Amino acid sequence: MNIVIPIKQVPETSNVKMDEETGTMIREGVESIINPLDLYAIEVGIELKEEHGGKVTVITMGPQSAEKALREAIAMGCDDGILITGKEFKGSDTWATSFVLSSAIRKIGTYDLILAGERATDGDTGQVGPGIASFLNIPLSTYTSRIVEITDNTIIVERLIEDGYETLQMPLPCLLTVVKEISYPRLPTLRGKQKAKKVEIPVWSADDMDLDKSKIGLNGSPTRVVRISHPRIARGGTIVKATDEESLSRAIDKLINFLQEKNLI
């Protein structure tokens, strides 16, 4: 079974910064990690490889530093990684990102299953996985919580829905976005880290994938951030000191009047 896992390197939550002029996230010089929700997809891919044999390839689009995320996934047990990078990809929204990743998967060639995290913690849209499936025109299961069975041609999964679970049977190849319930990510092993240091990571550009540059990067992104607002926390209140019975009575009267004005009593 050949499995492809698109992953993303995201800033640690406390380090998220935005460029207010372009409306894009600042990634250079920011400490980054593998998107935590992608770790569950990585674990499922490794488990399926251990059970059915085959190969797990991780791919990511980002700056050159995103190679670190690929090597970490390989240290966990994935086989290969592919880095898609170049200034032409900068500023890509979810549509452009889905287009690029689906093009990379086409270039990879034969695959049986694509696994993706439910969403990325920096954008929180959950659109890239379904977008890849749409561009590749393959079946999709979102919020997948369990893989029930895999045969040569089909897969049966359970997915979370609002009032419980839904069981789907789909032909292969297909794409699953997975939730935390599906697995518990393992830690990289020493042997895995040694392998990850030695493995060669191919680097693909837009020219390598023969992409139309009008469909990628900021120019190819239909989504625009038009305004960035910083939340302001303002707490206003009235403090009434009650030091004796008279001031206590006044305080109670003010509280009752306030509750009546707000139609709370």
Highest averaged pLDDT of the listed ranges 86-90, 155-159, 215-219: 155-159
Does the pLDDT at position 225 exceed 80? Answer: no
Distance, CA of 264 to CA of 255 (rounded, Å): 11
224 pLDDT tier (thresholds 50, 70, 90) = confident
Q: Is 190 left (phi over 0), alpha (psi -120 to 50) or beta?
A: alpha
Residue 184 has pLDDT above 60, yes or no: yes
Give which of 46, 37, 219, 60 is closest to 126, Cα–Cα. 37
The pLDDT score that the predictor gives to residue 17 is 60
Residue type present at position 230: H
β partners of residue 167: 158
Q: Which two structure tokens, joined as six digits, stand for 170?
A: 């789909």
In this predicted structure, what is the pLDDT of residue 30? Answer: 63
Between residues 56 and 123, the one the model is more confident about = 56
Exposed e or buried b per residue across 35-50, where buried means at least 16 C-beta atoms within 10 angstroms of its C-beta? bebbbbbbbbbbbbbe
Inform me whether the pLDDT recorded for 46 exceeds 80. Answer: yes
Lowest mean pLDDT among 32-36, 131-135, 142-146, 224-228: 224-228
Which tokens belong to 148?
Answer: 């029930």
The structure's pTM equals 0.80
Mean pLDDT of the chain: 89
Closest CA to 116 of 162, 182, 65, 208: 182
Give tens-digit pLDDT for 75-101. 999 999 999 999 999 888 999 999 999
pLDDT at position 27 over 60:
no
